[in-house]
Amino acid sequence: MIATRPAQLFDAAAMAALLNPIIETGGTTALTQTVDAEFIRGWMAKAPARSAWTVAESGGDIVGFQLIAPWDQIPDDACDIGTYVAQDKSGMGIGSALFEATKKAASKLGYKWINAHIRADNESGLPYYQSRGFRDWKYVEGYQLDDGQIVDKVWKRFDL
């Protein structure tokens, strides 16, 4: 069974442990350097107003997390989303459970739509967002990651 709840600062170590294999594998996130609990706590603490962080748990373990926040690249009535699911747990309904909680949080925060900007080579992220009803609205060529790698980005929109 997958349960969701708001993420807390004490979740940071588990969230970093989940995120690092995703970063190390590459191809699905713009993050290029592994992180630690301190980084996650700082990320959460520096999150602007109208942000929400949600974790998914199974058997007491964090198996995924999702965040929404305003972003200066999109209108004020939209938030941007990031989704991270443990690599060995895909296909178990974690992403679906997270998104249900995130939609509620986004509505409560006054957003009208959710933006996802996804690497064009992300073979799991693109269908994940598509299957939730996101539709393409922008394509960005030549986005440079922190490590200098150049990727294209697909921007998808979900209307609340």
- pLDDT tier at 124, thresholds 50, 70, 90: confident
Domain CATH code at residue 37: 3.40.630.30
pLDDT tens, position by position, 139-158: 999 999 888 889 999 999 99
Domain of 70, in residue numbers:
3-159
Please state the rounded mean pLDDT for residues 79-102.
Answer: 94
Is pLDDT at 26 greater than 90 in this prediction?
no
Total domains in the fold of the chain: 1
Structure-derived torsion over alpha carbons of residues 22, 38, 40, 4, reported in degrees to the nearest 10: 100
Please state the rounded mean pLDDT for residues 106-116.
Answer: 98
